[in-house]
């Protein structure tokens, strides 16, 4: 018999350990709704389900859930989503246990879905059995009794997950890391809940402009080839631009003598049989239609991105992303539906430039960051770590030259170029960046010649020069592999584990330590910023977004420099490492028009408030005059990080 309970039963769970699960009409907390709530609380013998399809029971149920005291230990699987659906902040409780994060900390390679976790750690498959009963149907279409039984079982196995996984995490001495993650989860919930205001007019205009641009470029392509075809088909495109134009395809430098490509590096994947990747067309073949095809693909992709934003915008024109705390093997934070950590910026890297669409800079409809705007009366303050991964690289490898350059706040890529090749011009600085970041990813000479577009002998010479000048780096990379071979894992500075059993892939441990270590550093910095913001007791100050090396805060205009100074200072986290993590600060009214703040202005501790002159009504996407006057220092070219990898 199905055990249906009342809100009063939920109140009895207050102060105890309780597993809570919700059943919903979908996976979007912005657009879907709850159909029921289940609980499992052995301490007070409460096990059951409440149907919340109508107003009165749903109101009373949420009221009961909100009444659970702070010392209640709440257990959930994918807690952030469930809390969104219930409209309850995970910060309502001192300790919330998300069992997906427990799995991730034990081994980030493992799947996180409850069905798999049950089979792996409990050696049962009850969840799978319930699903088998209703093939090809959604849970919200099931009979209420079946939904109730399914939800109660979810609560039961989630409670069991905690019983099994918590000791395993403690055995690894990672309980403190888990507690930090749970505080970070609370912060991420707040950022998602607040969301970012979308300039819907700019977004709509951008879609229309992109469509016109794409149609124009498509016509140029068809006219150049001499007939119409489906350019999105790589086979049709390959035939049109190679065979029909009399242009030979490039040969795969990664292929063995038998013509088979057995390389394990991602670069080799560019040389598919069709040879239509934008990189090949523009960098290797120098195809006359290469840049045109790249521009078409970019417009086509950006149209999909822009249209996707409309689908996740609420009635207040606010976009809510979903941060994935357990979405990557390294522990790096990611976001989805939509991904607001990878919105194309104004500056373009070497592999993304196009004469058809702004050359080295994205302008007009191509600078999609202008679609995200600050709320009325506020500005965006972006504080990002300068050369964050290189700083972590230097700290972990303990290379004296890197540490000295970074401690002095210098341009590390320029310094490396000058030390190795005697010049810090743009070409050699790019060599430095390509090799430094490539080493982290296990780049070979073949990959290097591919990236730098040079013969193998020259690529080998350039790499040898690098190794010679930095004799500490290769031993550190070897030490990482040896640690992984000996223990099956690599440890981060934070204690987090990155596990690997395949010897051929153990070289990736260096990248994991750097990228994952930076992710843990960002989480600590963001939590400290959040704590300081709370001390200000101003509801108009909050963290707006988190990117891989950047914290974006929304702040009232009149105190923006005061907020910027304190956030910049907090994020340097000088107590964690021997050298502080230097930061840069930008301020603007849109994500796409952030202006760099002069360092002396950020460092001026005499600034408590900044009162700008009266501001005329703004046009969307334009900053007021005081921003242009105060923040008129141009950004140095050396500080623009290209998206090479």
Residue-wise DSSP of 165-231 = HHHHHHHTT-HHHHHHHHHHHHHHHHHHHH-EEE-HHHHHHHHHHHHHHHHHHHHHHHHHHTS---T
Q: Which residues contact 21 (CB under 8 A, 6 or more apart)?
A: 37, 38, 39, 76, 77, 82, 151, 154, 155, 158
Pull the structure tokens for residue 248.
């030979």
Tokens of residue 121, six digits:
């750690």
Number of CB atoms found within 10 A of residue 453's CB: 10
Contact criterion met (CB below 8 Å) for 590 and 372: yes
SS3 367: coil
Pairing of β 372-373 and β 378-385: unpaired
**CATH 3.30.420.10 domain position(s) in the chain:** 7-195
Give 482-487's long-range contacts (Cβ < 8 A, gap of 24+).
Answer: 483/509, 484/509
- How far apart are the C-alpha atoms of 283 and 292, rounded to whole Å? 13
What burial letters (b/e) apply to 383-413, b meaning 16+ CB within 10 Å? Answer: bbbbbbbbbbbbbbbebeebbebbeeeebbb
Nearest to 36 by CA among 94, 74, 85: 85
User: 89: exposed, middle or buried (C-beta count within 10 Å: 0-12, 13-18, 19+)?
Assistant: middle
Separation of alpha carbons 390 and 641, rounded Å: 12
What is the CATH architecture of 372-386+516-639? 2-Layer Sandwich (3.30)
| Residue pair 29/81 in contact by the 8 Å Cβ criterion | yes
Tell me whether residue 259 is exposed, middle or buried, using C-beta atoms within 10 angstroms of its C-beta: 0 to 12, 13 to 18, 19 or more. exposed
Q: What are phi and psi of 96, to 5 degrees?
A: -115, 135
C-alpha torsion 381→386→392→393, nearest 10: 150
What tens digit of pLDDT does each residue of 250-298 get? Answer: 877 666 776 666 665 545 556 778 889 887 888 778 899 998 998 899 8
One-character DSSP codes across 225-285: HTS---TTSHHHHHHHHTGGGT-PPPP-TTB-TTS-B---SGGGGG--TT---HHIIIIIS
Q: What is the pLDDT of residue 264?
A: 56
Contact between 24 and 35 (Cβ < 8 Å): yes
- Rounded to the nearest angstrom, the gap between the alpha carbon of residue 483 and the centroid of all alpha carbons in its chain is 28
Report the pLDDT value the prediction gives residue 464, as an integer from 0 to 100: 84
Q: Using alpha carbons, select from 45, 41, 49 the residue that is nearest to residue 6.
A: 49
CA 78, CA 97: separation in Å to the nearest integer?
Answer: 9
How far apart CA 386 and CA 236 sit, in angstroms, is 44
Domain with CATH 3.30.70.370 in the chain: 372-386+516-639
H/E run at residue 19: strand 17-24
pLDDT of residue 638: 31
Largest separation between any pair of C-alpha atoms in the chain:
80
pLDDT score at 252:
74
CATH numeric code, 198-319: 1.20.1060.10
pLDDT at 361: 60
Is the preceding peptide bond at 328 cis, omega within 30 degrees of 0?
no
Quickly count helices (H) and strands (E) in the chain. 24, 17
Lookup: tokens for 498:
């990155």
Instruction: State the Cα angle at 146 between 145 and 147, rounded to 5°.
Output: 90
| Cα four-point dihedral sign 376, 547, 362, 386 | positive
For residue 351, what pLDDT is reported?
46
Question: What phi and psi, each to the nearest 5 degrees, are found at residue 350?
Answer: -60, -40
Collapsing DSSP to helix, strand or coil, 146 comes out as helix
Q: Which residues of the chain have pLDDT under 50?
A: 266, 350-351, 353, 355-356, 610-645
> According to CATH, what is the number of the domain 389-512?
1.10.150.20
CATH, range 7-195: 3.30.420.10
Q: Determine the Cα–Cα distance for residues 198 and 265; give it in Å rounded to an integer.
A: 38
Looking at residue 57, what is its pLDDT?
83
* pLDDT given for residue 622 in this prediction: 41
Residues of the chain with CATH 1.10.150.20: 389-512
């Amino acid at each position: 018999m199905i055990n249906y309970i009342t809100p009063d039963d939920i109140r009895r769970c207050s102060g105890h350990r309780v597993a809570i699960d919700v059943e919903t009409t979908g996976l979007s907390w912005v657009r879907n709704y709850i159909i029921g709530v289940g609980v499992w609380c052995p301490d007070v013998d409460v096990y059951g389900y409440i149907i919340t399809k109508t107003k009165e029971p749903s109101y009373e149920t949420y009221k009961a859930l909100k009444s659970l005291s702070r010392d209640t230990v709440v257990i959930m699987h994918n807690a952030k989503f469930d809390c969104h659906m219930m409209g309850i902040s995970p910060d309502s409780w001192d300790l919330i246990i998300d069992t997906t994060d427990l799995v991730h900390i034990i081994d980030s390679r493992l799947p996180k879905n409850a069905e798999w976790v049950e089979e792996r750690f409990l050696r049962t498959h009850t969840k799978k059995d319930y699903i088998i009963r209703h093939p090809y149907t959604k849970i919200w279409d099931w009979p209420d009794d079946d939904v109730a039984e399914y939800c109660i079982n979810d609560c039961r196995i989630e409670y069991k997950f905690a019983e099994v996984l918590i000791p395993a995490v403690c055995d690894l001495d990672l309980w403190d890391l888990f507690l930090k993650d749970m505080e970070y989860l609370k912060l991420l919930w707040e950022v998602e809940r607040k969301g970012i205001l979308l300039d819907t007019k700019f977004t709509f205009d951008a879609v229309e402009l992109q469509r016109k641009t794409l149609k124009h470029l498509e016509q140029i392509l068809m006219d150049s080839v001499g007939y119409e075809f489906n350019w999105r088909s790589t086979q049709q495109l390959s035939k049109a631009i190679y065979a029909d134009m009399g242009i030979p395809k490039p040969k795969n430098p990664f292929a063995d003598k038998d013509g088979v490509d057995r390389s394990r590096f991602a670069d080799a994947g560019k040389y598919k049989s069709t040879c239509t990747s934008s990189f090949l067309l523009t960098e290797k073949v120098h195809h006359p239609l290469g840049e045109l095809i790249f521009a078409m693909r970019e417009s086509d992709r950006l149209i999909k991105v822009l249209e996707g934003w409309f689908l996740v915008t609420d009635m207040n024109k606010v976009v809510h992303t979903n941060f994935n705390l357990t979405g990557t093997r390294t522990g790096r934070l990611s976001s989805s539906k939509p991904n607001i950590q990878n919105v194309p910026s104004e500056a373009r890297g070497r592999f993304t430039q196009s004469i058809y669409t702004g050359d080295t800079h994205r302008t007009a409809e191509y600078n999609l960051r202008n679609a995200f705007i600050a709320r009325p009366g506020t500005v965006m303050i972006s504080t990002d770590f300068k050369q964050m991964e290189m700083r972590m690289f230097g700290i972990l490898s303990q290379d004296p030259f890197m540490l000295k350059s970074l401690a002095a706040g210098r341009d590390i890529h320029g310094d490396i170029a000058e030390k190795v090749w005697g010049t810090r011009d743009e070409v050699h600085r790019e060599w430095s960046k390509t090799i430094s970041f490539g080493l982290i990813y296990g780049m070979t000479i073949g990959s290097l010649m591919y990236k730098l577009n040079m013969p193998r002998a020259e690529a080998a010479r350039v790499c040898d020069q690098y190794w010679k000048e930095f004799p500490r780096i290769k031993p550190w990379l070897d030490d990482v592999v040896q640690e992984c071979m000996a223990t099956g894992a690599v440890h981060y500075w934070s204690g987090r584990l990155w596990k690997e059993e395949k010897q051929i892939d153990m070289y990736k441990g260096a990248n994991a330590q750097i990228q994952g270590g930076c992710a843990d550093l960002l989480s600590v910095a963001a939590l400290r910023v959040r704590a300081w913001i709370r001390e200000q007791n101003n509801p108009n100050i909050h963290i707006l977004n988190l990117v891989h090396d950047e914290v974006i805060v929304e702040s009232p205009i009149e105190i923006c420099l005061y907020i910027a100074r304190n956030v910049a200072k907090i994020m340097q986290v000088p107590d964690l490492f021997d050298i502080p993590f230097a930061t840069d600060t930008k301020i603007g009214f849109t994500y796409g028009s952030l202006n760099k703040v002069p360092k002396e202005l950020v460092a001026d501790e005499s600034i408590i408030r900044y009162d700008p002159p009266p501001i005329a009504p703004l046009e969307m996407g334009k900053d007021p005059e005081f921003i242009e006057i105060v923040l008129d220092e141009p950004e140095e070219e050396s500080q623009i990080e290209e998206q090479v990898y």
